[in-house]
Amino acid sequence: MPRIRNRARSRNRRRLRAVLFATLGSRCGIRSDACAGELTADKFEVHHEDGCTWDQRSVNAETRLYRYLRELRQGVRLAAACRPCNGALNQATYGTREEREAA
Ligand SMILES: [Zn+2]
């Protein structure tokens, strides 16, 4: 029983990611000139162009996807990003995890 529910939720997450990906596009929005990162619906991150106002790790993956889609409807500027660019930018903006945890 739980296995089927888990599978349905996994399918739903994939569906939500596909919708998000179709909206944001397949190019890394952070440094599209210098970045060779090819994005796919299975492999992209969401970049908040004006900074993210909530803790993305505080909610589960499904809730996070619904929230991104709601932000898009509300006009929050989001871009698809590759992991290296997004990670580098977040680290430059917020510091490394060690630095954040020490703060
Ligand atoms: Zn990139």
- With a CB cutoff of 8 Å and minimum separation 6, the contacts of 83 are 37, 43, 45
Q: How many whole angstroms from 1 Cα to the centroid of ligand 1?
A: 40
Q: Is 51 left (phi over 0), alpha (psi -120 to 50) or beta?
A: left
Which residue range is the domain that position 23 belongs to? Answer: 2-102
- Total domains in the chain come to 1
Ligand 1 centroid distance, CA of 34 (Å): 8
Q: How far is the CA of 26 from the centre of ligand 1 (A)?
A: 11
The pLDDT profile of the chain, 103 residues, written as one tens digit per residue, is: 677 799 999 999 999 999 999 999 988 988 767 787 779 998 999 999 999 999 988 999 999 999 999 999 999 999 999 999 999 998 998 888 888 888 7
62 C-alpha to ligand 1 centroid (Å): 24
The total number of residues shown for the chain amounts to: 103
Count Cβ atoms within 10 A of the Cβ of residue 8 and give its class: 0-12 exposed, 13-18 middle, 19 or more buried.
Answer: exposed
State residue 1's pLDDT score. Answer: 62
- Going from the Cα of 4 to the center of ligand 1, the distance in angstroms, rounded, reads 36
Alpha carbon dihedral 91, 92, 94, 97, in 10-degree steps, equals 30
